[in-house]
Amino acid sequence: MKSLVSLLLLALASGSALAAGADLGQAQQQATNWTAIAMFAAFVGFTLYITKWAAAKTKSAADFYTAGGGITGFQNGLAIAGDYMSAASFLGISALVFGSGFDGLIFSIGWLVGWPVITFLMAERLRNLGKFTFADVAAYRFSQTPIRTFAATGSLVVVAFYMIAQMVGAGQLIKLLFGLEYTYAVVIVGVLMMAYVLFGGMTATTWVQIIKAVMLLCGATFMAVAVLYQFGFSPEALFTKAVEVHKSHDKIMAPGGLIKDPVSAISVGMALMFGTAGLPHILMRFFTVPNAKEARKSVAWATTWIGYFYILTFIIGFGAIVMVGTNPEFLDAKGALKGGGNMAAIHLANAVGGNIFLGFISAVAFATILAVVAGLTLSGASAVSHDLYATVFKKGQASSADELRVSKITTLALGVVAIVLGIAFEKENVAYMVMLAFAIACSANFPVLFMSVLWKNCTTKGAVAGGFTGLIMAVVLTIGSANVWEVVLQNPKGSAWFPYNSPAIFSMSSAFFVIWLVSILDRSAQAEKERAAYPAQQIRSESGVGAATASSH
């Protein structure tokens, strides 16, 4: 572990030196940022030390996936908030507000209102029925092989799309701070992420998330207070000034600047609201607490911290319009933001607190990304090792050590995939990329989870057919949208064949319809057994864990 830390820090330092030598103007800028770089390196070293500590506590598959179920509700609430306050939340939403004003708020509101769905419908049932993954919940009364095959596929696709946003945000942050090439920056992020997961598992991921959640909340609070201080703590004065200096003027205070048609608005809202309940790395967090009461407490605390944080991102975005967008120091020769559109919050940190606060916010933003990517990788690894390898291929006969070994191999593979996708999607806004992950989660995972837990007549055939329908439609329509078909795949402008920003309204509706239709038409003996295996009291009872898990194997 020590050699790994030394190697990474050496790579960062040498990369900075090479970049500085290549461009004198950039070298002068880099010279003023050594304080930020030192804080950044210290924070990365500290989180790697936590990983080393957690590695000593990670002995079994249960420790690796769920930290042995020993996390309290308060701790888990902070960790969930840390998971949720990702690059998309901090960098992406503030960047959307910076560019489009009021419309950027749809993302923060959409993500926040997804929590009541989890609070009232899912949290307690997840804890009572689950073991390691959301597939353990969905499959408690269904045929294991087909449902777990779908669950693993859906989880891996969601994880891949969600990872893109984090890798892009981290790559742009490292590029801005160290002067490294974007490609090298993404590779370093991928290597660090693999180190967190390989050595520390869920214990390390949880504690890094808790620490960075506290630091991010403190940092964002300072930024918001510093911005409001400039305007006598009057939000109205801040908004008035933003309207005055923004290129779109009063249009930034009206909807329609970012999402221009009602179908896209509804579709994006559905994706953000219901996608939360289909994110495998968020659902996994409910298996780290000892009982259903702590699961409910987790959601309450998470909602509190996340709601507070999203209010701050709105102020940060408008603060960036006034203090960053009008300052030539943060703009390139063409008038665009240095480092790309996702860096508005990072530049604002420099504007309100200088190099020391820039170093703090950069380190916290990077830790935010690393912790979220680690959580995503963990959920992807568990989908392969637990749902596919242990249950489907080995029929429940795999040892804990074998499962752990497959998890670590999968982690390496996911790290490589994350690096490749991060490089391919360099130009995308990170909040938009996460929205696509939510669209897939709400179209594939959420309908299956919702119907399997809450509808007695749902069957294996219905769940699998509907789940794959939602998954395939969401992916295909996403590829056909302008942001992927034209921007990423570089097809001619105007050639995109799906006209909306999000596929959720079509793909999620189709998934629910297919689950319902196939289930009611399924009259097989297996379907009757599955309907009979739906005792609602078992789902709600504390003893449901053992009974449900036993019945599924």
Instruction: Give just the sign of the alpha carbon dihedral 97, 100, 101, 102.
Output: negative
Taking each helix axis from N to C end, the angle separating 182-229 and 344-382, rounded to the nearest 10 degrees, works out to 120
d(CA 462, CA 456) in angstroms, rounded, equals: 12
d(CA 504, CA 438) in angstroms, rounded, equals: 9
Whether the pTM exceeds 0.85: the reply is: no
Per-residue DSSP letter, 250: G
pLDDT of the residue at 515: 95
Cβ-based burial of 379 (10 A; exposed 0-12, middle 13-18, buried ≥19) = buried
Taking each helix axis from N to C end, the angle separating 2-22 and 24-31, rounded to the nearest 10 degrees, works out to 130
d(CA 512, CA 465) in angstroms, rounded, equals: 10
Measured CA to CA in angstroms, residue 357 lies from 46, 87, 322, 348, 365 at distances of: 18, 18, 19, 10, 12
Residue 451 · residue 466 · CB < 8 Å: yes
Q: CB-side exposure of 228: number of CA atoms within 13 Å?
A: 15
d(CA 403, CA 292) in angstroms, rounded, equals: 26
Taking each helix axis from N to C end, the angle separating 400-424 and 182-229, rounded to the nearest 10 degrees, works out to 80
Residue 66 · residue 132 · CB < 8 Å: yes
For 466, the token pair is 């509907």
For 113, the token pair is 């209102």
For 228, the token pair is 């409001």
d(CA 139, CA 151) in angstroms, rounded, equals: 9
Residue 540 · residue 124 · CB < 8 Å: yes
d(CA 221, CA 218) in angstroms, rounded, equals: 5
Per-residue DSSP letter, 334: T
331 phi/psi in degrees, rounded to 5? -115, 150
pLDDT of the residue at 405: 82
Residue 202 · residue 288 · CB < 8 Å: yes
For 277, the token pair is 């309940």
d(CA 249, CA 38) in angstroms, rounded, equals: 39
Q: Show me where the domains of the chain are located.
A: 2-52+73-552
Nearest to 175 by CA among 47, 321, 342: 342
What DSSP assignment string belongs to 139-189? TTTS-HHHHHHHHHHHHHHHHHHHHHHHHHHHHHHHHHHH---HHHHHHHH
Taking each helix axis from N to C end, the angle separating 504-521 and 460-480, rounded to the nearest 10 degrees, works out to 160
Task: Give the chain's radius of gyration (CA, Å).
Answer: 23
d(CA 516, CA 15) in angstroms, rounded, equals: 55
55-112 pLDDT tens trace: 666 665 655 655 555 677 788 788 888 777 766 677 778 888 888 787 777 777 777 7
Per-residue DSSP letter, 343: G
d(CA 463, CA 135) in angstroms, rounded, equals: 12
d(CA 204, CA 162) in angstroms, rounded, equals: 20
What DSSP assignment string belongs to 200-227? HHHHHHHHHHHHHHHHHHHHHHHHHHHH
d(CA 219, CA 43) in angstroms, rounded, equals: 14
Alpha helices in 324-399 (DSSP H): 344-382
Measured CA to CA in angstroms, residue 543 lies from 7, 35, 120 at distances of: 49, 54, 19
Residues 6+ apart with CB under 8 A from 81: 213, 217, 301, 302, 305, 306, 309
Nearest to 225 by CA among 334, 138, 308: 308
d(CA 148, CA 159) in angstroms, rounded, equals: 16
Residue 371 · residue 43 · CB < 8 Å: no
Instruction: Give just the sign of the alpha carbon dihedral 49, 305, 66, 70.
Output: positive
Q: What are the pLDDT tens digits along the chain (553 aa)?
A: 444 444 444 444 434 433 433 333 343 344 446 776 777 778 777 877 776 776 666 665 655 655 555 677 788 788 888 777 766 677 778 888 888 787 777 777 777 777 666 666 666 666 666 566 677 777 777 888 888 888 888 888 888 888 887 788 778 777 777 777 888 888 887 887 777 666 656 667 777 778 878 888 998 999 999 999 988 888 889 888 888 888 878 777 777 667 777 888 888 888 888 888 788 777 777 666 777 777 778 878 888 888 898 888 888 988 888 888 888 888 777 777 887 777 888 889 888 888 888 888 877 777 777 777 777 777 788 778 877 887 778 777 777 778 778 888 888 888 888 888 888 877 766 767 777 888 888 999 889 988 887 888 889 999 999 999 999 999 899 888 887 788 777 788 878 888 887 899 999 999 999 999 999 998 888 888 888 877 543 444 444 443 333 333 3
Nearest to 57 by CA among 207, 183, 277: 207
For 527, the token pair is 């379907």
pLDDT of the residue at 551: 37
Nearest to 337 by CA among 91, 106, 162, 104: 91
- CATH top class, domain 2-52+73-552: mainly alpha
Residue 462 · residue 515 · CB < 8 Å: yes
